[in-house]
Amino acid sequence: MVSTEEVRRYQVDPNRKFFSANHEEIERGLTTDIYFIRALEILRFLKLDATEVTAEIFARQAGVFAGMQETFNLLKDKKIKLWSLSEGDLFQPKETVMRIQGPYNEFGVYETIILGILGSSSAWATAARECREVARGKKIICFGSRHIHPAVAPVMERAALIGGIDGASCILGAKLMGQEPQGTIPHTVIIIIGDTVKAAMAYHDCFPPDIPRVILIDTFKDEAEESIRVANALGENLLGVRLDTPSERGGVSPDLVKEVRVRLNQAGYSHVKIYVSGGVTPQRIDLLSREAVDAFGVGSYISDASPIDMTLDIKEVEGKPIAKRGRIPGKIENKKLIKLL
Amino acid sequence: MVSTEEVRRYQVDPNRKFFSANHEEIERGLTTDIYFIRALEILRFLKLDATEVTAEIFARQAGVFAGMQETFNLLKDKKIKLWSLSEGDLFQPKETVMRIQGPYNEFGVYETIILGILGSSSAWATAARECREVARGKKIICFGSRHIHPAVAPVMERAALIGGIDGASCILGAKLMGQEPQGTIPHTVIIIIGDTVKAAMAYHDCFPPDIPRVILIDTFKDEAEESIRVANALGENLLGVRLDTPSERGGVSPDLVKEVRVRLNQAGYSHVKIYVSGGVTPQRIDLLSREAVDAFGVGSYISDASPIDMTLDIKEVEGKPIAKRGRIPGKIENKKLIKLL
Amino acid sequence: MVSTEEVRRYQVDPNRKFFSANHEEIERGLTTDIYFIRALEILRFLKLDATEVTAEIFARQAGVFAGMQETFNLLKDKKIKLWSLSEGDLFQPKETVMRIQGPYNEFGVYETIILGILGSSSAWATAARECREVARGKKIICFGSRHIHPAVAPVMERAALIGGIDGASCILGAKLMGQEPQGTIPHTVIIIIGDTVKAAMAYHDCFPPDIPRVILIDTFKDEAEESIRVANALGENLLGVRLDTPSERGGVSPDLVKEVRVRLNQAGYSHVKIYVSGGVTPQRIDLLSREAVDAFGVGSYISDASPIDMTLDIKEVEGKPIAKRGRIPGKIENKKLIKLL
Amino acid sequence: MVSTEEVRRYQVDPNRKFFSANHEEIERGLTTDIYFIRALEILRFLKLDATEVTAEIFARQAGVFAGMQETFNLLKDKKIKLWSLSEGDLFQPKETVMRIQGPYNEFGVYETIILGILGSSSAWATAARECREVARGKKIICFGSRHIHPAVAPVMERAALIGGIDGASCILGAKLMGQEPQGTIPHTVIIIIGDTVKAAMAYHDCFPPDIPRVILIDTFKDEAEESIRVANALGENLLGVRLDTPSERGGVSPDLVKEVRVRLNQAGYSHVKIYVSGGVTPQRIDLLSREAVDAFGVGSYISDASPIDMTLDIKEVEGKPIAKRGRIPGKIENKKLIKLL
Amino acid sequence: MVSTEEVRRYQVDPNRKFFSANHEEIERGLTTDIYFIRALEILRFLKLDATEVTAEIFARQAGVFAGMQETFNLLKDKKIKLWSLSEGDLFQPKETVMRIQGPYNEFGVYETIILGILGSSSAWATAARECREVARGKKIICFGSRHIHPAVAPVMERAALIGGIDGASCILGAKLMGQEPQGTIPHTVIIIIGDTVKAAMAYHDCFPPDIPRVILIDTFKDEAEESIRVANALGENLLGVRLDTPSERGGVSPDLVKEVRVRLNQAGYSHVKIYVSGGVTPQRIDLLSREAVDAFGVGSYISDASPIDMTLDIKEVEGKPIAKRGRIPGKIENKKLIKLL
Amino acid sequence: MVSTEEVRRYQVDPNRKFFSANHEEIERGLTTDIYFIRALEILRFLKLDATEVTAEIFARQAGVFAGMQETFNLLKDKKIKLWSLSEGDLFQPKETVMRIQGPYNEFGVYETIILGILGSSSAWATAARECREVARGKKIICFGSRHIHPAVAPVMERAALIGGIDGASCILGAKLMGQEPQGTIPHTVIIIIGDTVKAAMAYHDCFPPDIPRVILIDTFKDEAEESIRVANALGENLLGVRLDTPSERGGVSPDLVKEVRVRLNQAGYSHVKIYVSGGVTPQRIDLLSREAVDAFGVGSYISDASPIDMTLDIKEVEGKPIAKRGRIPGKIENKKLIKLL
């Protein structure tokens, strides 16, 4: 952990490519708020740095807990006791989600880091769970990486999978959960090729059979027309079509799904599944999952979820209940907590 | 850049501490959406991978541009032409903020990464600018690291500084802009010490004179009372007091600031500045900066800013205007663009 | 005029094809409310049927006056004096729009008919004027006949022309104003032919050159694509394309108009005009007339206009001011009235 | 049916009294939209005019079906098959209300006329039904003729009777349903006579006993006072009093009904019924039918009902399902349809 | 002033007729909150009862000041200094409206009484002023006594006159301001007499000519009719008619005023004034004063005005600024204050 | 009862201290509206002053009845029959709450006074009942005297006790109901003493043990801190602490109550009760009574209750039903009425 003196002398490498912190920088405390470094030095000055404390973390709103594993990894070698909810657990407002007990200097400076990990991961998991709950069992894949910094895209997609969705398009995100990343091809490539059917056939010729053929059908033509053209081209090999209709064409509506389904069926392609993406929210999943949608691609609703505000309070000092003004002194028990350390 | 085959074989190291991506992982494409990897292979199969294209990036809402430097670093060795707005520039809805011209295989797979960098950094810079504009020249410091993953905390605080605020508490964030990190001490430490005045005096004894003495005064006692106690203890050495009143005690109101200012003045401490933190938003800055507040600490309003949705469109293929349905074919000129490559 | 005795004996012809009243039936009073027939008989019984009265008509809301001509035709042979606003005049709430002076038995039983003519025609003219006022000089054609009974469709389209729009599709409606009816071909016919381009070419081959070639382009394909196909087929002969995008495809939006205009221009068809129909209201005209729309087809907004409630009050009996409770006795002067009889 | 050539030469008779179309003009197609005339000529040019098609009509909102009889009369000699809901049937949004099958040239040009008949009649029937449903079995009479063109007043009142109300004041409207028209005398006549009691007594002396004595009592005096005066004058012969209080005197309120009822009863006139008219809507019927109202006169709520938008879609061409973009190809079955031809 | 011991022994006279306090009871402190009696005894116990203090009174909302005279009467023999706004002055939120300086035991126990006098009187004056400001110079009379306890009815009407209205119906209220009480006769008496004209003529015969003849005209007949009857009976002697139409008859509307005015004028009674009462609020005064209303009778809007919350703060003790938490220590100057003692 | 002549000559004593009416002034009729005095003289002129009438009083809204006793006292020597609801009875809109039968001159001029007594007292009782109903059995004390004129403060607090609350701070108000007044000490005194603990100890030393020790704890310090200090000082003798947190410090919130309770319990003072005052309304009682609040002090919610509009109607004259326009003639029976005279 850096000292205030080291902070003073620290210089950023001018050839640094990205501004995100690498793992060893996080561990060294370089992403911590400076006041935690100073706080520890004051306590050391008063010889209070090893004071035995009990800290508890809670949120002001309900949600789905995520981020436990990274927090555990960070603290596993410290001389502390640690209790926590499990990844994917539900929590209520003001419920204790994690308790850390031990000498303050073993973990105090990590407050910034722990709260940041838990607050952001829990927000993503919570948004994913909201989608899950209204999807009537339809498949949901996360496409949100393009909205956030690449350093945290895999953290986000992992948290979304913990929240209960089925797949992720970010390579590292999927791999962290032992899955294969999922996805089709983007509009850019169909535009370069110049025709959706030509792109679909190349896709089919190019990849082994275990990569599913799901074709994006709104690039150049009306979706109802293009669905049939693509189905005519790939026949039994076509797993599904993806509707990503731009808002300038009215987005994907229940009526559009209904019509594409009927037209595909009338043309003999009832095996072709319908994927929907673009501006997908729980409200829209709830609406569209009543129709013949087979899978949803969710982007910004999950990736842009506002972090859940996590608070760490010192609730005991040397075994005695204490709290700042506005908080209840002493531990708040929670039977769902599991002892990790 | 990884291939679909390498993706298939890729295994996550089971001892990996954090789930965020390190710099080399980002560059290798491991945080990219899988469909960009597949897309490139299809184009290669059709021998279209080196097609000359013009891509343009725009947002659907106005904002303050940030993320140019990381994008430039990512692309600087590619055989492309690159135009961009500068860090801190204002942009309007649908205005071209960046244009990339060259063979598609030089940059296409980075779409996920570039949009993620620009969308998140611009959102943070925009939120910071909103604070700046209503602050009537008062100082603003970012305290938002605790709400987001430590890997991106420095990216966020750097973007906030670009947006126009004055300081940051995240060590690496401040250093990236050539500044020293700023902050005082947290509630946790005052609770361990057990008395705000004792903590203030240790702070004073512990640090060299160039570290400013700003003391948090809402931990145990009413702010009006504690301000005077701390001022009595540090006298001329006290730079300021920080009001962080919890919502359970009504938060920081204009009346409270007014009262603390008068009481400090009546006791002869008109040199002591007033810092305000806790739930600070532009609306509250606008309200409180009419009072005798000297500086604001802003947290979640900046760090939790919802990413600005950035879109990359192919606007020319081999020099000819094109676009998908719903978009206007051809380049959209913007005189603010600067040629970087 | 029928008597109560004749009403009693009146039988409807069982072979009657339509339920609307023919002109002679209206004149005989068969569409009058029965109580006016009875009222006259009571007055005759009291020898008061030829009482000299002054009646005034007013509306409770502002509008554009229409229906004067039919009312004049109805009353022109009666021994009365008649003053009226002119067709197309604006009127304010409670302004006298018509005054009839003479023996009550000359016109009293026509109260139902006169109010019905004025109230419905003025409503249509008013709705048309609202469209006119926000159209920035763009052409407006009425397509509303399909929403109302065929007996009044020509009355409605005539009133709309009086209100200030430019053309009508109902044959008799247009002819009543000395115009030729306007329009293209309906979706039904393109569906029977099976292809919009084929239909467009037949249209061109079938009609003399003075019938303008405006082709409906949203039947089978995306509008952007179909516009170009049709323009390629008819070239210089194509006057315009009509966008009638169904709500299931997002309706006609400003973005769609903009895109079709650019794509036509990029393909060399800047002479092709853009017509817009389907759910057109003043709000939408106001929005879309800022774009490159050349003409609007308005249907239900005009035809479905709620009748303006017209009231006829007796204001003088034998030259003395009188009124029922709630009304001001005596004539209300209005300099805009013109003496017709 | 007129041809485009005949349309071109057609001249309106300058002595024409009304602008509404007579029955033979409707049949000749003079109220049709010109584009249907042109459409047929194009099909004939392509020898497709006798193409076998299936057309279906539906509405976008629920309602009560009316207009079947006129449509049947129009089509009964054509070589087509015809299925339809019955007069007075309820229909749901998008439910098939009529199906026409046969060569397009047998009925295609009547699209404007059929939709206009069904859309306007169904709207009137629906509004009448809404009144019926909240009236707690009280009698309802339609007084709406004065708001619409006399040519359609009988169509409207007939549709209102189909919708379920009990009587109509328009002579032809009532006769079309085999009823006698109903009503009393208007304010105008009481004003000419100068006293309500005098008018009531003349009414009584003038007409045979089978014409019910219902007297309008708000012309000159407070309703409570005038009710008693009229009851004193006609005694047992008085069937009812009609309250038509103008908005300037607060309209008819539940309190007014209650008071008039009590005062009549206290004076020994409990046999006198209370009729209410003036601004009567379903909301007001629902409110007032809880009081001692015996009958309602409804005007503009029924006559001004906005036409229900009816759409005719070609669903099969030569037996094969088809549809324009946005619609489901093929017939939509509806067990309520009855085969008429 | 009573002591806690006297309070303990105090017994209410069982023959007491009213529960309001007489003047001597108020002065003895019997309407004070018990805690002020106790407070004084504690201070005496600590020998602090004669501590020199400065107390200031302010309101949290703006208003018109009233109650100064009663407060002055209460305090005029005490050994204090007293500054105050004048009766009828405007005050702003938090503006000092009264300052009392002197030994606490001279006035402290009167806090309840002073605040009660000022808060209620100022509320009534403020409501009266609101009426005054929108009345376009028309006369306003207060009729509010019937809504509040008779003990305070004169206080209320006096405060209303201070607020700026023109007359009062409460005998003592008017006399306190040196005026004669104003009013006509109530509905009850017209009902007993059985006819408005008979009552009007008795009124005229009964009183000397200097008592103005204003007759209430809505008891039995329509106002338009009754106005003419009364004017016919009293002729030149009739000063005015009062409209007090009950809500069951629609209240007094602008249209009713307009109609009564025109009908009176047409009958030659343009000298007869129009008075309006019943549910009169500033909104209705603003609306009706645009019409030919000559005077308004205001009742509950003034009498029911919610007391303005007045607060008394100790701002100096022995000359040193002090305040409780939440208030600014020290006097707040106000140039409008006048020194009374 | 004064005559119009006596009114004319009446002069206010220039030395009068208060403007409220003493009991004998009320009885003499000096707070009556002048028009009732005049009305009686007109009736006497017509020899109708002793007409036998039945008057009924009702309200337009529901409430809790109070004021019966004062009305009874006023009328008990008159030659009338009197029926009334009892103090504290619930009444519904338009329900008869009191009936007076007898010669009009026995009670007619008291209309103003009776309605004023009933309307104001019932409003206070109703507001108190609203508090009672949501308090979950917690104690409620009225502190509202400071908002209204001292002459009616005891009437108000008596009515509040009738409405169902538990205690009152106004000395005379409590005594009227046979209770001892309740309360602690005000902020002013703690400010003069300069320390809450010092004030609490003087309170304890000064009064006999039967006066409960409830100490106000928000004057100088944070409530959580001051509660413990006061409890340390008085120990077992401390009955309760009163929270009256100013709005500038966020008022009393559920969180604050919860925290003070826990901190008192943790310090061994679970016997100390919590009283809450300041801006207390039924909504806040409902919220806070879910927490560990033991008692509430309610001020302006009760004292500022808007008078309930009471109306007196003559319903019979000489035994015959009658009513003015808008009212139902004749008595309205109510089984809850009790015969008092």
Q: Say if residue D248's pLDDT is above 90.
A: no
**Is C325 within 8 Å of E263 when comparing Cβ atoms?**
no
CA pair distance B171, A29, nearest whole angstrom: 8
Q: Whole-number mean pLDDT of chain D?
A: 96
CA distances in angstroms from F168 to F135, F165, F238, listed in the order given: 16, 8, 21
Residue B135 in contact with residue B280, Cβ under 8 Å?
Answer: no
Distances (CA, A) of B164 to A35, B125, B132, B295: 22, 8, 6, 14
Percent of chain F residues topping a pLDDT of 90: 97
Task: Please tell me the least confidently modeled range out of B57-71, B89-103, C4-18.
Answer: C4-18
Q: Which residues numbered 278-337 in B keep a CB inside 8 Å of some CB on A? A: 300, 303-304, 306-307, 309-310, 312, 314, 317, 322-327
Alpha-carbon distance values, C330 to C99, C224, C315, D194 (Å): 12, 63, 5, 15
The confidence band for B73, taking pLDDT boundaries of 50, 70 and 90, is: very high
Domains of chain C: 4-123+307-339 (3.20.140.10), 124-303 (3.20.20.70)
Query: Which chain D residues are closer than 8 Å to A266 by Cβ?
Result: 321, 329-330
Is pLDDT of D1 > 90? no
Q: Considering only CB atoms, which chain C residues are within 8 Å of D39?
A: 185-186, 188-189
Among candidates C148, C159, C215, C212, which has minimal Cα distance to C182?
A: C212
Using alpha carbons, list the distances in angstroms from residue A66 to A155, A337, B300, C27, F131. 10, 14, 19, 82, 45
Distance CA F74, CA F98 (A): 14
Alpha carbon separation from A338 to A81, A84, A114, A118 (Å, rounded): 11, 5, 17, 16
What is the predicted pLDDT for the residue at D185? 85
- Interval F174-192 mean pLDDT: 94
Interface test with C, best of B315, B317, B320, B325 (most C CBs within 10 A): B325
Partner-chain contact A330 F262, CB within 8 Å: yes
Q: What is the pLDDT of residues E281-340, one digit of tens each?
A: 999 999 999 999 999 999 999 999 999 999 999 999 999 999 999 999 999 999 999 999
Percent of chain A scoring above 90 in pLDDT = 98
Q: Rounded to whole angstroms, how far apart are CA atoms A55 and A98?
A: 8
Q: Give me the amino acid identity at E58.
A: F
CB contact under 8 A, C221 and A220: no
Helix C68-75 to helix C111-133 angle (10° resolution) is 160
User: Which of E119, E143, E324 comes nearest F33 by C-beta?
Assistant: E143
Confidence grade of residue B185 (pLDDT, cut at 50, 70, 90): confident
Distance from the A274 Cα atom to the nearest Cα atom in chain D, whole angstroms: 17
Q: Which residue from E149, E182, E187 is facing F34, i.e. has the nearest CB?
A: E182
**How far from D176 is each of A252, D181, E57, E142, CA to CA, in Å?**
49, 10, 81, 62
Q: Is E49 on the interface with C (CB under 8 A)?
A: no
Question: Residues D77-86: pLDDT tens digits?
Answer: 999 999 999 9
CA distance A266 to chain B (A): 26
Give the angle subtended at the CA of D210 by the CAs of D209 and D214, to the nearest 5°: 85
**Percent over 90 (pLDDT), chain C:** 98
Neighbours of F152 (CB within 10 A): 29
Tell me the nearest-neighbour CA distance from A223 into chain D, angstroms.
9
Write out chain C residues lying below 8 Å of A250, CB-based. Answer: 247-251, 253
Place of tokens 């009832």: A270
pLDDT band, very low/low/confident/very high, at B184 (cuts 50, 70, 90): confident
pLDDT given at position E248: 87
DSSP for A257-274 reads HHHHHHHHHHTT-TT-EE
Contact residues, F window 178-237, toward A, CB-based 8 Å cutoff:
222, 224
**Residue of chain D whose alpha carbon sits nearest to that of F328:** D259
Give residue E116's pLDDT: 98
d(CA D165, CA D133): 10
Return the ∠ at Cα F299 (arms to F297 and F303), rounded to 5°. 140
Number of CB pairs < 8 Å for B and C? 14
Mutual angle of helices E196-206 and E223-234, in 10-degree steps: 30
DSSP 8-class letter at A170: B
Find the largest Cα–Cα distance for chain C. 81
Q: How far off is chain C from D105, nearest CA to CA, in Å? A: 11
The tokens of E328 are what? 């600014």
pLDDT in tens, B22-44: 999 999 999 999 999 999 999 99
Q: What is the number of other CB atoms lying within 10 angstroms of the CB of residue C153?
A: 32
Return the pLDDT at A22: 97
Give D206-240 pLDDT, tens digit per residue. Answer: 999 989 999 999 999 999 999 999 999 999 999 99
E strands of chain E, at which residues?
52-59, 63-64, 81-84, 90-91, 96-103, 139-142, 167-168, 214-216, 240-243, 273-277, 295-298, 310-317, 320-321, 338-339
Q: What is the pLDDT of residues A196-207, one digit of tens each?
A: 999 999 999 999
Amino acid identity, position E130: E
Task: Quote the tokens at residue F117.
Answer: 């007594």
F281 neighbors F244 (Cβ within 8 angstroms): no
C332 — phi, psi (to 5°)? Answer: -115, 115
Neighbouring-strand partners of residue F161: none
CB contact at 8 A, B188 and A327: no
- For the residues D104-127, what does the mean pLDDT come to? 97
Q: What's the residue count for chain A?
A: 341
Band of pLDDT at residue D184, cut at 50, 70 and 90? confident
The answer to whether the beta carbons of residues A227 and A264 sit under 8 Å apart is yes
When mean pLDDT is compared across B88-92, D12-16, F226-230, the lowest value belongs to D12-16
Q: Which residue of F has its CA nearest to E47?
A: F193
Per-residue CA distances from B15 to A76, A88, B12 (Å): 12, 21, 9
Per residue in C278-307, pLDDT (tens digit) is 999 999 999 999 999 999 999 999 999 999
- Asked whether residue C86 carries a pLDDT value surpassing 90, the answer given is yes
Q: How far apart are CA B339 and CA A168, in angstroms?
A: 36
Cβ–Cβ below 8 Å for B325 and C255: no
Question: How confident is residue E185, by pLDDT bands cut at 50, 70 and 90?
Answer: confident
Do residues C59 and C66 lie in contact, with contact meaning Cβ atoms separated by under 8 Å?
Answer: no
**Residue F185 pLDDT more than 90?**
no
- Interval D10-32 mean pLDDT: 95
Q: Is B165 on the interface with F (CB under 8 A)?
A: no
- Give residue A184's pLDDT: 84
For residue A93, the model assigns a pLDDT of 97
Which regions of chain C does DSSP assign to beta strands (E)? 52-59, 63-64, 81-84, 90-91, 96-103, 139-142, 167-168, 214-216, 240-243, 273-277, 295-298, 310-317, 320-321, 338-339
In this complex, which chains have at least 3 CB pairs below 8 Å with chain E?
Answer: B, C, D, F
Residue matched to tokens 């309520």: D336
Q: How far apart are the first and last CA of chain D?
A: 21
What SS3 class is residue D179?
Answer: coil
CB contact under 8 A, A250 and C255: no
Contact yes or no for E95/E63 (Cβ under 8 A)? no
Contacts of C187 (CB under 8 A, 6+ apart): C216, C219, C244, D314, D324
pLDDT of residue F184: 84
In the predicted model, is pLDDT for residue E276 greater than 90?
yes
pLDDT beyond 90 at A294: yes
Find chains touching chain C: ≥3 CB pairs under 8 Å: A, B, D, E
**Which residue's entry shows tokens 């140039």?**
E335
Q: How far is B262 from chain F (nearest CA, A)?
A: 15
Query: Which residue of chain E has the CA closest to F305?
Result: E306
Helix (H) or strand (E) holding C184: none
Instruction: Answer yes or no: are the C-beta atoms of C188 and D314 closer than 8 Å.
Output: yes
Contact E37/E3 with Cβ under 8 angstroms?
yes
Among E225, E248, E251, beta carbon nearest to D221: E225
Q: What is the pLDDT of residues A133-156, one digit of tens each?
A: 999 999 999 999 999 999 999 999
Q: Do D189 and C34 make contact, defined as CB atoms within 8 angstroms?
A: no
Mean pLDDT of D304-324: 97
Give the closest-approach CA distance of B228 to chain F in angstroms. Answer: 13
